[in-house]
Amino acid sequence: MARRKSLPIKKRRELPAFDRAEFERRAERARALMVRERLDALLVSSEANLEYLSGFTTQFAWNTPTRPWYFLLPREGEPVGIIPEMGVTNWRATSWVSEILSWPSPRPANEGLDLLKRAVLGLKRQFSRVGVELGPESRIGMPVADLTRLRDMIRPFDVVDGMHALRELRLVKSPAEIERIRRMCQIAGDSFDNMGALIEPGDTERDLVRKFQADMLLRGADKTPYVAIGSGQGGYDSIIQGPLGRKLKRGDIFLIDTGARYGSYFCDFDRNYALGKPPSDEARRIHDLLYKSTAAGIKAARVGHTAADVFAAQAKVLEDAGLVLGNVGRFGHGLGRVMTESPSNMPGDDTPLVPGMVLTIEPSAMYGEGKILVHEENLVITEDRAELLTRRAPREMPVLEF
């Protein structure tokens, strides 16, 4: 029998659910984009796009691939959820959309396809095109074989890529969305500040990551899907791996990077720590340059610039100092319902920055023998400047007692 044990939880007022007006604005914007993209409807099945448009909130649908879940938003006419029967109660408790078509699932021979066909063929047909999640950075929430069958079932409608519209739709966040990201950044920031109390001699990377996740949950996070850790004597060699079984040691530098969720929205930032003794002069130098690179990125993140400009500003600081840029391929990205969204802060991404876009600023540099160091902050673009959503990392790498 387990020892009975209470856990301390920090309670503060939850942010309110999105109101109906928020969803109506999303639908209105989506419909304007459908006209531009010549679509008669958007048919979505992935967590981010389905929940964004329908308001339906579920863990279940995204943890089991047995049953697909669909939302159809027509350019004209009523939106409809096309979902397994067992989800109707959950849908009604969370979605703004009352129209539902449901079927008794599992039914492997036909998982909702007949209902999809009926809904699509009932669309007002102008462009004969239905936008589906096909293009860059999409992950469709249905078996590809079912999509192939559906294509044939809904003629004369064509299945075309809806990601242009969906990408643009989600690029600019509403104030209510930004508040969720800000809340999550605060919670993770508090847990990062608590690192010295969490880590104990004998901890492995796995132990520390478990405690760090628990700490975020007890401070009000809802989910902790991404908590990576890199550790090693004097520095680490990957910013996206772990936790492994490695025991943390005095003299280590370690990083924790976290994409955790509040109200379905992500933070995505990291913090670096030295264990038991100050970092080497080299590590301090790199850390300081990354701090300055981050500052340059924050400054460059403003209306009139592009995502590529934000990269260039960060890269210049590091390259001027003769550093080799990190092997991540970009220096930050969009952030929202998914841990990484458009745009990419990298050469060639000419997405103009506009108010309401939420970005990570994430410069990294190589040093020593295959080591890498990274900084990361989250911000929102406003009319005249970037507003930080994270509390800025300390200028000097914290040295934890150990």
Do β-strands 269-275 and 399-400 pair in parallel, antiparallel, or remain unpaired?
A: parallel
Shortest reach from residue 227's CB to its own copies, in Å: 7
- Of 152, 163, 141, residue with least CA distance to 117: 152
Interface positions, 165-194, toward its own copies (CB under 8 A): 189-191, 193-194
- The count of chain residues that interact with its own copies, using the rule CB under 8 A, is 103
Asked if residues 393 and 375 have their Cβ atoms less than 8 Å apart, the reply is yes
Please identify, using beta-carbon distances, which residue of 27 and 51 lies nearer to its own copies. 51
Among 27, 338, 373, 397, binds its own copies (CB under 8 A): 338
Task: Note whether 110 binds its own copies by CB under 8 A.
Answer: no
- In degrees and rounded to multiples of 5, residue 266 shows phi and psi of -95, 150
Asked if residues 210 and 227 have their Cβ atoms less than 8 Å apart, the reply is no
In 139-239, at which residue ranges do the beta strands (DSSP E only) sit? Answer: 158-161, 223-233
Among 158, 207, 319, 387, binds its own copies (CB under 8 A): 207
Task: Note whether 164 binds its own copies by CB under 8 A.
Answer: no
Among 122, 196, 352, 394, binds its own copies (CB under 8 A): 196
Please identify, using beta-carbon distances, which residue of 27 and 345 lies nearer to its own copies. 345
Task: Note whether 392 binds its own copies by CB under 8 A.
Answer: no
Counting Cα atoms < 13 Å in the Cβ hemisphere of 313 gives: 21
Interface positions, 264-323, toward its own copies (CB under 8 A): none
Radius of gyration of the chain measured on its C-alpha atoms? 23
Sequence-ordered alpha helix ranges (H) in 261-331: 281-300, 307-320
Round to whole Å and give the CA distance between 216 and 193: 11
Site stretch for its own copies (CB under 8 A), options 213-221, 281-289, 293-301, 351-359 = 213-221
Shortest reach from residue 382's CB to its own copies, in Å: 25
Shortest reach from residue 124's CB to its own copies, in Å: 26
Angle 69-339-168 (CA atoms, 0-180°, nearest 5)?
70
Tokens, residue 74: 């027509």
Task: Note whether 153 binds its own copies by CB under 8 A.
Answer: no
Please identify, using beta-carbon distances, which residue of 145 and 383 lies nearer to its own copies. 145
Tokens, residue 337: 């319902």
Please identify, using beta-carbon distances, which residue of 137 and 288 lies nearer to its own copies. 137
Tokens, residue 277: 């003794």
Interface positions, 43-72, toward its own copies (CB under 8 A): 58-60, 63-67
Site stretch for its own copies (CB under 8 A), options 247-255, 275-283, 340-348, 382-390 = 340-348
Task: Note whether 369 binds its own copies by CB under 8 A.
Answer: no
Asked if residues 195 and 231 have their Cβ atoms less than 8 Å apart, the reply is no
